[in-house]
Amino acid sequence: MKEKFVAYIKNLQNEITSALEEIDGKAKFKEDKWTREEGGGGQTRVIENGNVFEKGGVNISEVFGKLPESMQAYFGVKDADFFACGLSLVLHPKSPMVPTVHANWRYFEMYDAEGNTVDSWFGGGQDLTPYYLFEEDAKHFHQVCKIACDKHNEGFYETYKKRCDEYFWNSHREEARGIGGLFFDYLKSSVASAKDDKNIVTEMTMQDWYNFVTEVGNSFLECYLPIVERRKDLSYNEENKNWQEIRRGRYVEFNLVHDKGTLFGLKTNGRIESILMSLPPVVQWKYDHHPEKGSKEEKLVEVLKNPRSWV
């Protein structure tokens, strides 16, 4: 399974970066191959200062070795080895009318002292962080996510949409990072936990989970690119750009305070440039900032404080 998923993410990285270069029309991805002293490595691809994308990265990694003590305590194991691979992307557009997007699809294995596989699972998802709320865009993003989920279980979308809202929650601000999408983790061979109103429960093998996770990964470009096309040429002013940079600050806060992927990368001696690639290039923190009453900025904040159903 690990060889199969590594091959998948390598191909997906090529597909996504090619499509993003085409829609940007100016900037190209710079590729940076790296190795990890303890085992493994990856390919970081970064795009900067384009027509559409101010900064973004589409990274793949394949790392393995002894699980650090801090992570052994986290997983409740002793003397374990691990293998982890995945694709992680974040795109920060230049225009505040185009949303930031994040996605990640990953696979993990854990081994005992004899090298036997004692656990394995998939995780990932995709979520949207707009600076100005276009309901048409939110509905499109979620509709494509739902279509991908429904092919495997009619309860998956509702379950993983809810988990996304819960996970990407800046608890210290009492608001969501964005308008959500999908988030799933610890997908293992077992009865699926997702249930819809019809009480549908599905027996899922690791091959079934692979099919589901890759379905979601394959849906990413359809989720995001139509939104970019609709918004990239809209006009904006300095006030709009200031708002974007203030909201980017909340994005940074989540990634550095709450995000488990950032924590895992730091705890396993990951490559710091690749881990912090997710941070936007220009950010503002204004003391006790609140948008004007009745403004488009306030409309966004109200939705972030009270996550909605979009489909």
Could you please state the CATH topology (level 3) that the domain comprising 2-305 is classified under: oxygen-dependent coproporphyrinogen oxidase (3.40.1500)
Which range among 102-111, 186-195, 277-286 shows the weakest confidence by mean pLDDT?
A: 186-195
The 10s digit of each residue's pLDDT in 207-249 is 999 999 999 999 999 999 999 999 999 999 999 999 999 999 9
Q: Is the pLDDT of residue 164 over 90?
A: yes
Q: Which residues make Cβ contacts (< 8 Å) with residue 60, sequence separation at least 6?
A: 9, 10, 13, 42, 43, 85, 86, 87, 88
Tell me: pLDDT of 138 over 60: yes
Q: Which residue has the higher pLDDT, 28 or 191?
A: 28
Contact indicator for 67, 78 with CB cutoff of 8 Å: no
Task: Outline where DSSP puts E strands in 26-138.
Answer: 30-35, 40-48, 53-66, 81-93, 100-111, 117-129
Q: State both tokens at 180.
A: 């959500």
More confident residue, 264 or 136: 136
Phi and psi at residue 49, in whole multiples of 5°? 55, 45
Q: Strand, coil or helix: what is 218?
A: helix
Spatial distance between the Cα atoms of 187 and 124, rounded to a whole number of angstroms: 10
Nearest to 220 by CA among 69, 71, 58: 58
Cα–Cα distance for residue pair 255/127, rounded to 1 Å: 14
Amino acid 193: pLDDT: 54
- Positions annotated as catalytic residues are 102
Q: What is the pTM of this model?
A: 0.93
Give me the percent of the chain exceeding a pLDDT of 70.
96
Please state the domain extents for the chain.
2-305
Q: Report pLDDT for 197.
A: 46
Is the pLDDT at 28 greater than 60, yes or no? yes
**Per-residue CA distances from 263 to 80, 138, 151, 269 (Å):** 18, 29, 32, 10
What residues contact residue 288 under an 8 Å CB cut-off, 6+ apart?
none
Q: Which residues are within 8 A (CB) of 290 and not within 5 positions of it... i.e. 6 or more apart? A: none
